[in-house]
Every structure is written in C-alpha cells, then in structure tokens.
Amino acid sequence: MTLYRSKVLAALKELHRTRRIVFEGDQHALQVTKQQIRDEFRKNAKETNQSKIEEAITLATDVAKLLRTTVVQIKQKELGSDTFELRITKDTVLPENTMFDPLIELPEHPRKRKCSDSPSVPSADTTQHR
C-alpha cells in the first residue's frame, strides 16, 4: 500500500502545482479548484480496491495534463474597455492557425436522403384523405 500512497501523494501534488500555474492571479478559481481537489481525494481516501486506486491516480494525472494544455486565462485590461489580455502558459497547446483560402475548391459531399425522401414511406402531404 505504500507504493500507492506515494503515487496518490504525487498525483495530489501535481494537481495542486498545476492549479497554481494555470489559475495564477485568479483567487476565486484557485480556491474553487483547491476545494474540489480536496473533496475528490477525501471521497476516495478509504478506497482499498487496487484497480480503483490506479484508475483514480490516472484520472488525477490526466486532469492535470488537460488543465495545463487547454486552459487559458483572459481578463479585461480596463473596466469598460473592449481590450482583453490573454494569458497562456508554456504548456498550452495551440492549434494550427491557417489562413482561409477563398480560391481553394472544397470537396462536395453528396446529400443524404431524408426519411421523407424515401419512396417506401408516404409523406403526409401526398396522402389523400377521403
């Protein structure tokens, strides 16, 4: 069990380190994430099933990685201003940003038939009422 104890503590430290980096300067987000991490770890503190412990450790490390790579902070430069400041970290993954080329020929996708286009099912407007 000491092996799991050290892995759990390492995952806990990683999550707290990540939240401090990602939410730097945002006291509300820092408090909320701190409490959420504590609640989740305390909820599973009595767990003895090894596979569930490993699953929880994996989840914690995956969440830390997801936070580091996808969360960005944006804040208004001045109150009432339309100017915002974006804060990204060295771990933030930025997607490729390619310019739109209006001259490129886009592939056409054939239109799929709707249920109402099916010959086996008569539509409501073609049915004759007597």
Q: What is the band of 12 on the pLDDT scale with cuts at 50, 70, 90?
A: very high
Q: What is the pLDDT of residue 32?
A: 97
Mean pLDDT, residues 8-23? 96
Rounded to a whole number of angstroms, the CA Rg of the chain reads 26
What are phi and psi for residue 103, nearest 5 degrees? Answer: -90, -10
How many CA atoms within 13 Å lie on the side-chain side of 15?
Answer: 24
Mean pLDDT, residues 58-68? 96
Q: One-letter amino acid identity for 102? A: P
Q: What is the pLDDT of residue 109?
A: 77
This prediction's pTM: 0.66
- The structural domains of the chain, with segments of one domain joined by +, span 2-87
pLDDT exceeds 70 at position 8: yes
Mean pLDDT, residues 43-53? 92
Angle at 26 between CA 24 and CA 28, to 5 degrees: 135
Comparing 100 with 6, the larger pLDDT belongs to 6
Are the C-beta atoms of 58 and 66 separated by less than 8 Å?
no
Region of 80 (left: φ > 0; alpha: ψ -120 to 50; beta: rest) is left
Write the CB contacts of 116 (distance below 8 Å, at least 6 apart in sequence). Answer: 123
Q: What is the pLDDT of residue 95?
A: 80
Q: What is the band of 130 on the pLDDT scale with cuts at 50, 70, 90?
A: very low
